[in-house]
Amino acid sequence: MDGLRFPDGFVWGAATSAYQVEGATTEDGRGESVWDIFAAVPGNVENGESGDPGAGHYHRYAEDLDLMADLGLHSYRFSIAWPRIQPSGSGAPNQKGLDFYRRLVAGLAERGIRPMATLFHWDLPQDLQYLGGWENRDTAARFADYASIVFEALEIGDWLTINEPKTVVESGYRFGVHAPGIKDDARAYVACHHLLLAHGLASQALHALRPDARIGPALNLHPTYPADDTPEAREAARHRDGLENRLYLDPIFKGRYPEDTLRWLAERGPIKEHILDGDLAIISEPVDLLGVQYYTPVFVNGAGERVFLHPKAQAEWLEIYPEGLHDLLVRLRDDHPGVPLVVTENGMPALDRPGPDGRVRDDDRITFLRDHLLAMHRAIEEGARVEGYHVWSLLDNYEWAEGYGQRFGIVYVDYPTLRRIPKDSALWYRDVIKNGELR
Ligand code: GBH
């Protein structure tokens, strides 16, 4: 193939999150997060692993900045650890915590790399969990206070509020496989409403404090398809689309919950009682950019079960279907026109390791990324307003309940030494960025 060009100014990036890469969980006054507590319970995480060492990024950030510059990244998406800024979730900021992100942002500026910061990537201060966590409406107000602290302290133009509210709701509160480890549908959807409220309050705060900056949610969206051509499967896919996508998109973009989904939720718990007058006006604060995280589609059969029709990556849940990214971006173009889209995560795990020559050959990842970039390119040609793309992840890191076994990085991390080795995919990505095209 020759020369599939991306638009001028297209932003190429890579993403990480604080708990997954920083390590240093007890340093410089950081408070405990729900993940420190969750990971310490035997059985919750593969091999009992925790966010220490992560990728050792807290101490190696300068080396990582050089790595980003070597790869030619235009943008680096990272998250700020709330427990570093407010160790118990409220009150005066911890300057040492802020200083770490000040140094990081300054280092990005020196290298001409744009920062994109996520306010919340799942590491809630544990003291707020003791007060009810996201089930407590007050957590949304605490979040807006924390957000205002970092908005004032850090020179960052692009912000993301909540990383994947759906994952917090489902993995954290329905299935209990993530912190805080709750398995209760009724409680999950109360938490969902408060996560959305927190998104809205933080967006309002940024708009008041920094009118030139931009903010939006980072949603993991799942194009949902009927697995066969029956009315039952089509109906099941529509229901599932409500839970996967519309439950988050509609309140944020349209200021209302989807009727069918809300009815289903109301049969399971008291969500309606928690939706107060004015909440949806807050939640639908205008969105300046939408972070789109795409990994996998969801095909459902007539019984409403997810079925897998395509090959999987090295994760049970990740059915590889690049076409889904195209379909998703085109759908967003139609359903929510005008909003700039930024792909904030896309990638796959593998059991990478260096060969005898020290090189890490991850051809499957190159194929995966290339196929997704092709699908995205087609969506852009069809009018989807995609500004940029971030591969998940810059570095191998702590894959939550899977521990360190699933490597998503384009850069290999040797955990015993924390040495970094750019994988073949990183070298390939560097060329894509340099050329602005797929060859
Ligand atoms: C994203 O989640 C996250 O933002 C990021 O932190 C993470 O590292 C990355 O993707 C890769 O996973 O145990 O079968 O119930 C993606 C959505 C939701 C996928 C939770 C895995 C658990 C599946 N993830 N899900 S299961």
Find, among 401, 191, 415, 404, the residue nearest to 317 by Cα.
401
- pLDDT value, residue 2: 60
Give the domain extent around 375.
9-438
Q: Give residue 438's Cα distance to chain centre.
A: 25
Taking the CA of residue 401 as reference, the ligand 1 atom at the shortest distance is 13
CATH number at residue 40: 3.20.20.80
Binding pocket residue ranges, ligand 1, CB within 6 Å: 17, 20, 163-164, 167, 171, 175, 177, 220, 295, 316-317, 345, 392, 399, 408
In a domain, 392, yes or no: yes
In a domain, 108, yes or no: yes
**pTM across the whole model:** 0.98
Chunked mean pLDDT (size 10), the chain, 439 residues? 86 99 98 98 98 98 98 99 99 98 98 99 99 98 98 98 98 98 98 99 98 98 98 98 98 98 96 98 98 98 98 98 98 97 98 98 98 98 98 98 98 98 98 95
In a domain, 334, yes or no: yes
- pLDDT value, residue 57: 99
Report how many domains make up the chain.
1
- pLDDT value, residue 83: 99
Q: Among 78, 122, 220, name the best residue to mutate to test ligand 1's pocket (greatest count of ligand atoms within 8 A of Cβ).
A: 220
Instruction: Please indicate whether residue 382 is annotated as part of the active site.
Output: no
ipTM of this complex > 0.95? yes
In a domain, 265, yes or no: yes
- pLDDT value, residue 3: 76
- Three-state SS for the chain is CCCEECCCCCEEEEECCHHHHCCCCCCCCCCCEHHHHHHCCCCCCHHHCECCECCCHHHHHHHHHHHHHHHCCCEEEEECCHHHHCCCCCCCCCHHHHHHHHHHHHHHHHCCCEEEEEEECCCCEHHHHHCCHHHCCHHHHHHHHHHHHHHHHCCCCEEEEEECHHHHHHHHHHCCCCCCCCCCHHHHHHHHHHHHHHHHHHHHHHHHHCCCCEEEEEEECCCEEECCCCHHHHHHHHHHHHHHHHHHHHHHHHCCCCHHHHHHHHCCCCHHHHCCCCHHHHHCCCCCCEEEECCCCEEECCCCCEECCCCECCCCCCECCCHHHHHHHHHHHHHCCCCCEEEEECCCCECCCCCCCCCCCCHHHHHHHHHHHHHHHHHHHCCCCEEEEEEECCECCCCHHHCCCCECCCEEEECCCCEEEECHHHHHHHHHHHHCEEC
In the reported structure, the alpha carbon of residue 172 is separated from the centroid of ligand 1 by a whole-number distance in angstroms of 11
In a domain, 61, yes or no: yes
In a domain, 40, yes or no: yes
In a domain, 1, yes or no: no
Find, among 47, 61, 71, the residue nearest to 18 by Cα.
61
CA dist., res. 236 & res. 46, Å (int): 33
Asked if the bond preceding 416 is cis, omega within 30° of 0, the reply is no
In a domain, 65, yes or no: yes
Token readout for 233 is 């499967």
